Amino acid sequence: MVKKIQSIRGMVDLFHQEMRDHLWVIQQARTIAKLYGFDEVSTPILEKTEVFSRPLGQTSDVVSKETYTFNDRGDDSLTLRPEGTAGIMRSVISNGKFNELPLKLFYSGPMFRYERPQKGRLRQFNQIGIELIGISEPFSDAEVIMCGVNYLKSLNVLDKCLLNINTLGDKESRDKYRSSLIKYFTINNSKLSNISQERLKINPLRILDSKEAQDQEIISKAPSFSNHLNSDSKKHFDKVLNYLEVHNVKYVYNEKLVRGLDYYCHTTFEFITDQLGSQGTVLGGGRYDGLSETLNGPYLPGVGFAAGVERLVLLSENNNKIVSSIGVIPIEEKNLNASFEIIENLRSKNISSELFNYGNISKQIKKSISRNIRHIIIIGDQELKTKQVILRDLSEGTQKLIFIENLVDEIMTLDK
């Protein structure tokens, strides 16, 4: 038998409901980002390798083990983007956009990381993200986090997540902390895993990120970052926390949250769920004031986040239960206003619906059938008097009277 050609491991095809779920998660992000004043942008999926290797750090897992890097036919080293932030910053610099600050940019699209595939972890996955570039003030960290909060709320998953937040301070604080860590981990070097011993030589901060069981006890007794923060860094972080408290955002302060990419400073954060096994981070981000300079750009402070679309699809399960379109048929012209009110309410609840012409009901029913509509609502004077409408199932040939206030709940229970 001829062997079927399969897709590449960790890369999936999307059809029908799966695709609709993806689009919904992306569309909600687009809507919320717009509410916060972010403009959608698109940058190439392929970039020169240095766009990622310098800002993300040679020693980060992403750059050292996970990128899809190859030489093109002109012998240039290119990399499929493993994340969006570095490419966005490259595009801001190469297009001279720093004359238009602040920039508030939204993006969505595929990213590529050569990781071991499992539930919620793919080699080609999709992210949505926002980047706010050009403001160093702490209120913008809080604004970005609030945008994340409201995005997760719009997917009905905020209750399943906990915001973990930390500060990596400014360069002076990080240098001071790095010296303390080097001292501490050098004394304990022989007890560390091989990978952490390697990190000690190049980037000791990343040891705190280690998942190796052998490292955990040593990490738990490591010097604390908060004792090494200078007063500017402390002030920045306190203000961010204060803004979050004013907005009643629940968070935990997690000093071990260093994140896997080197470009971060000051605030870092992740929304973590316990419902997706070990791939619990659904949305993560932070401030990256030094990133632009690693790409030979000017000083450009920035803060942003990205969220994994596949993980959010898993977490939001059936929240996106869009029932097939409902037809709304007014009996007479004078019932149009009531019909508009009802149909707009359905749409505001994510129920796709179509308004048909008034008049000859059987003609409108035929039209509904030709558009694959199974359920229709018939709106007439007689029923409106008692605040009711007729809900008819065209495939079963049954109908019942429903109070308008119960209509949304009733439609949610219908067969698709």
In the complex, the residues that contact ligand HAM under the rule CB under 6 A are 83-85, 113, 115, 120-122, 125, 127, 129, 131, 260, 281-286, 288, 304-308, 310-311
Q: Which residue has the tokens 């029908």?
A: 16
- Which residue type occupies 146? M
Of the pair 24, 125, the CB lying nearest ligand HAM is at 125
Q: Rounded distance, CA 281 to CA 15, Å?
A: 25
Complex with ligand HAM: residue 21 or 383, whichever CB lies closer: 21
Closest to ligand HAM by CB, 229 or 303: 303
Nearest distance from residue 189's CB to ligand HAM, in Å? 28
Q: How far is the CB of 66 from ligand HAM (least distance, A)?
A: 8
Cβ(101)–Cβ(134) under 8 Å?
A: yes
Separation CA 412–CA 416 (nearest Å): 9
Nearest distance from C-beta of residue 80 to ligand HAM, angstroms: 13
Sign of the CA dihedral with 131 first, then 132, 137, and 139 last? negative
* Pick from 319, 298, 305, 209: nearest CA to 259: 209
Q: How far is CA 38 from the centre of its chain?
A: 14
Strands 326-330 and 353-355 turn out to be parallel
Region of 263 (left: φ > 0; alpha: ψ -120 to 50; beta: rest) is: alpha
CB closer to ligand HAM, 125 vs 237 = 125
Q: Name the residue type at position 1.
A: M
In whole angstroms, the minimum distance from the beta carbon of 346 to ligand HAM comes to 32
Min separation Cβ 195 and ligand HAM, Å? 18
Q: Select 117 or 223, whichever has its Cβ closest to ligand HAM.
A: 117
- On whether the CB atoms of residues 376 and 397 are closer than 8 A, the answer is no
Tell me whether residue 181 or residue 306 sits nearer to ligand HAM (CB atom). Answer: 306
What residue is closest to ligand HAM based on CB? 308
CB of residue 76 vs ligand HAM: minimum separation in angstroms? 23
